[in-house]
Amino acid sequence: MEADDTLSVTAGVPPIVLVVEDHAETLEIYDNVLSHRGYWVARAASAEEAFETAQELRPDVVVADVGLSGEMDGVGLVRELRADEKLRKIPVLVVTGRKASELPSFAGLSLSGLLLKPVAPETLVTKIDDVLRTAQQRQSANTAAAITAATHLPADAPGAGALRTVQAAVDHTVRRCPKCRTQLVWVETRTWNGSSFDYYRGCAKGCGLYCFNRGAGRFETLIGD
């Protein structure tokens, strides 16, 4: 397979895709396709399980079937995600084998796309790539706007403290490769089991892929020696 057919492991931490599908064979196909392309795949067979997994992992994107069995279907899952302060901004792609006339209402719900079954592997990957790219661009724009605002606000202006905290947090993520001391490029900060981790793109000199454990004050190697 050519290098451009997969996500580069040095381009940053593999995005987490939560796939929600109650048909075991389809779930396995999605998992294999996305894992092969470099995504980290989390699986759920019901909306209830998916919501719990989303709370634990904070995935980068959710791919959910509309017609899930159980007390909650795919639309119910989206409603739960959008009602949760910490999960409401996660992009959601919904998948369905139903006709348009048979679909439930998505009124008031923010969706990143609707895919019709059977979904071609290339279509699924391309759509997820597009959704993640859009989300990353929006996040970068929001962070840049916050830093610009903080830079120009007087120290005693309302909200200045909070905005300068944003700037300090971004500045704090500037670190160097623990092996060769090349400056690393920050990707994002995530919280896991009560601890905060700064994730970086792979070292430009090929030393490896690292995250920094803020609580422990040390680097942890994700890929490398």
Report how far residue 200's alpha carbon sits from residue 212's, in angstroms, rounded to the nearest whole number: 8
pLDDT range class, residue 76, cuts 50, 70, 90: very high
Q: Is the pLDDT of residue 7 over 50?
A: no
Q: Is the dihedral of CA 204, 31, 72, 114 positive or negative?
A: positive
Biggest CA-to-CA distance, the chain: 59
b/e for 46-75, b at 16 or more Cβ within 10 A?
bbbbbbebbeeeebbbbbbbbbbeeebbbb
Per-residue model confidence as pLDDT tens digits over 77-127: 999 999 999 999 999 999 987 766 666 666 677 888 888 888 898 999 999
Report how far residue 63's alpha carbon sits from residue 61's, in angstroms, rounded to the nearest whole number: 7
Token couple for 12: 């940053």
User: Mean pLDDT over residues 186-200, rounded?
Assistant: 79
Q: Is the pLDDT of residue 38 over 60?
A: yes
Q: Is the pLDDT of residue 69 over 90?
A: no
pLDDT of residue 25: 94
Report how far residue 60's alpha carbon sits from residue 134's, in angstroms, rounded to the nearest whole number: 12
Q: Which CATH superfamily is domain 3-135 in?
A: Response regulator (3.40.50.2300)
pLDDT range class, residue 190, cuts 50, 70, 90: confident
Report how far residue 199's alpha carbon sits from residue 187's, in angstroms, rounded to the nearest whole number: 5
Report how far residue 174's alpha carbon sits from residue 161's, in angstroms, rounded to the nearest whole number: 21
Percent of the chain with pLDDT over 90: 32
Report how far residue 173's alpha carbon sits from residue 186's, in angstroms, rounded to the nearest whole number: 6
| Least trusted range by pLDDT, from 21-25, 71-75, 177-181, 220-224 | 220-224
For residue 100, give the 3-state DSSP assignment: helix
pLDDT of residue 140: 56
Q: Where are the domains of the chain?
A: 3-135, 173-225
Per-residue model confidence as pLDDT tens digits over 130-177: 988 887 776 655 555 554 554 454 555 555 555 444 444 544 567 889
Report how far residue 92's alpha carbon sits from residue 95's, in angstroms, rounded to the nearest whole number: 10
Backbone angles phi, psi at 18, to 5 degrees: -95, 115
Q: Is the pLDDT of residue 5 over 90?
A: no
